[in-house]
Amino acid sequence: MQNRYLPKVDLGFFPTPLIKLSKLSSALGGPEILMKRDDMTGLALGGNKTRKLEYLLHDATSKGCDAVITAGAAQSNHCRQTAAAAALLQLECHLALGGDPPETANGNLLLDNLLGAQIHWAGAKRKGETIPEIFERLRAQGKKPYVIPYGGSNELGAYAFVNALQELEAQLDTTQLSHIVFASSSGGTHAGLMLGKALLQKAYTLVGINIDKGDSDAVPFDRFILDLADRTAELIGSTVKFHGDEIHLEANYVGDGYGVVGELEKEALEITARYEGILLDPVYTARAMGGLLDMIRAGVLTSEDRVLFWHTGGTPSLFAYAEKLNKGM
């Protein structure tokens, strides 16, 4: 695979492990299931956003920026990893978080505070709508801020997952792989995997499990992913272009919306923990695993398939959902 090289800073532990979920596969009587452990990237309890931040923060430091701003939900894994990366590089970190200050900080929010991030509560606006005013305030203070988009999902963030697929190629004969299943939320991981697959000329199917219902007045999520994949290809000098029939975005598992934990997520958390000793997170990977379990039971994925589940991390948020998860256990 030939493409323009993009520089990065080293923030995580790579390659992340690739393992077989043999007990879970056997219990389901379905396909062989593998797992790519991006929950073990190492940066403040890990997660897939570390890959994106290596490129984004190289861009920030190369431009002489001394502060970073990003946004997310109160329990954002992306924000926690951004806070950790900023601490490592000694950059000021500002997080625009959805919601209001809780009485007690736990989960990712507790870690944000420990890592020294400055929190700006944004109420119903969790996708960065308040970033411009934070940016201008910091500039007025003489700072040189750098904006990291929601989920780290721009061309630099997506490029990280082009490289992630190259990493996978060194670990696995992917000609025997039928599907890669993963949580799709801010779009960068999905776009990068699509571009990486195209550049590597692979035949497996990418299945993004949609995590969020999205905003009715925004660009349709599948269109956003396709456009981001095209822009990322252009960034690295590739002529690859994507069309609507090239994206598989599974929207049947969003339930009651982002961050709302239902029976699908609870069962996925329990079955993965009790068969494999692996912890998922309640918002992203449990919903994605729940979708995978349902596709196996519905016969969409069979014993003839070989499936890779990409664990994107997020385990600290389990503790923020303790009350909901304890019910019925």
Known catalytic residues?
A: 76
- Whether residue 281 contacts residue 108, with contact meaning beta carbons closer than 8 Å, is answered with no
Q: What is the 3-state secondary structure (H, E, C) of 75-127?
A: CCHHHHHHHHHHHHHCCEEEEEECECCCCCCCHHHHHHHHCCCEEEECECCCC
Q: Distance between CA 114 and CA 84 in Å, rounded?
A: 9
Amino acid, res. 148: I
Four-residue CA torsion sign, 236, 221, 109, 135: positive
Could you give phi then psi for residue 70, rounded to 5 degrees? -150, 180
- Whether residue 51 contacts residue 12, with contact meaning beta carbons closer than 8 Å, is answered with yes
